[in-house]
Amino acid sequence: MIVVSQLREWKMNQRAKAVWGILLRGFVSSVLPVLVSGIVRAFAIYMFVTPNEFAPGGINGIAVLLEYATPLNSGWYLLMLNIPLFFVAFFLLGKRQAIISTASMLLTSGLLIVLDYIPHIEKIIYKPEYAFLAAIAGGILLGAALAVMLKCCGTSGGTTVLASLVNKKYRNISVSALTSAFDACVVLASFFVYNQGASFTVKLDPVLLALVSLFVTSKTCDAIMQGFKTAYKFEIVTNDPETLSNEIMQKLHHGVTRIAAEGMYSHEGRSVLVCLIRKRQIAELQKIIKSHPDTFAYFSSTSEVFGKFLK
């Protein structure tokens, strides 16, 4: 009886662990990206964008412009502007994408509204000659928030809904690039909102700041989407694959894959060695290759590496 009782208890523990595992995976895949993206986006808008008077583009930019022109917080405008796009995403992009992106938008809107009521929170305001620092900082944070949502569900709401729709047809154009193109239209509108009555140069400042922010946002998003675990792939054509591959594995500690090949001019059998290495090892591998006569090699960068790979 004791053994049976222990067996039942063990099975219950295993089921509990399985349930908790499912819940944890669901939290990491769905809830955590919403929290991270929503909080980072709200922080970028509230601390860097709004106080330094430039529009980051897209729906966020429209909300910031409306806040500048009216006494209402940009969080309310974000809420109102994203509702129609939610239905577009719901019917055209999928329920999960629409729900997750809308949840992130609601979190951002709520935080922007709540932050106004929290005492002793100082916005980061730069002098005009250093305002580009706010554009860079805001762009990095907005790019990170965008990448988190794109990795999670393919869209983060706002103009990324439209960008995702276009990307479905034109896969060669990145979502972040399309988003930046749509955002640029909003950025131009900031010329007519900020610094009314000032000179042309002064009115152009918010536009330039917004363009800097958009550029940094796009580059940050692309860098995160492509991954930071980059490498360089060498393809080496050689008649001495055994010696060369052994030397590479011993000195660089990376695996080598051998592929049988044939030279179409001489019709002689050759071997192609494929090896992935880190950037700092390029010079060392080139020295190894040069020590083997009659060897031809070329290399190219890879944007992401999966599986076991020595950093």
**Entry pTM:** 0.69
Q: Residue 44 in 3-state DSSP?
A: helix
The pair of three-digit structure tokens given for residue 182, joined into one six-digit string: 């749509």
Residue 63, helix vs strand vs coil:
helix
Decide: 131 and 52 in contact? Cβ < 8 Å: yes
In the sheet that holds 269-277, the strands lie side by side as 257-262, 269-277, 231-238, 296-302
Query: Letter for the amino acid at 158?
Result: G
pLDDT for position 27: 45
Tokens at 258, concatenated: 């051998």
Q: What is the mean pLDDT of residues 121-146?
A: 90
Q: Give residue-wise pLDDT tens across range 71-124.
A: 889 989 988 888 877 777 777 666 777 777 778 888 888 899 999 888 888 888
Q: What number of other Cβ atoms are within 10 A of residue 80's Cβ? A: 13
pLDDT given for residue 258 in this prediction: 92
pLDDT at position 209 is: 93
Structure tokens at 24: 């944890």
For the segment 239-249, the average pLDDT, to the nearest whole number, is 90
Helix, strand, coil percentages (3-state) for the chain, rounded to 5, are 65, 10, 25
Quick check: 61 pLDDT over 80?
yes
**If pLDDT is split at 50, 70 and 90, which confidence band does 32 have?**
confident
The yes-or-no verdict on residue 25 having pLDDT over 80 is: no
Average pLDDT over residues 153-164: 67
Is the per-residue pLDDT at 191 higher than 80? yes
- Residue 236 token pair: 């080496």
Go through the chain and tell me how many residues it has.
311
Lowest mean per-residue pLDDT among 94-103, 145-154, 302-311: 302-311
pLDDT tens, 247-276?
998 888 888 989 998 888 888 888 899 998
Strand 231-238 with 257-262, pairing: unpaired
Average pLDDT over residues 153-165: 67
Would you state the pLDDT for residue 205?
Answer: 92
The reported pLDDT for the residue numbered 283 is 86
Q: What percentage of the chain has pLDDT greater than the value 70?
A: 81
Least confident of 209-213, 262-266, 281-285: 262-266
Using CB atoms within 10 Å of the CB of residue 195, give its burial: 0 to 12 exposed, 13 to 18 middle, 19+ buried: middle
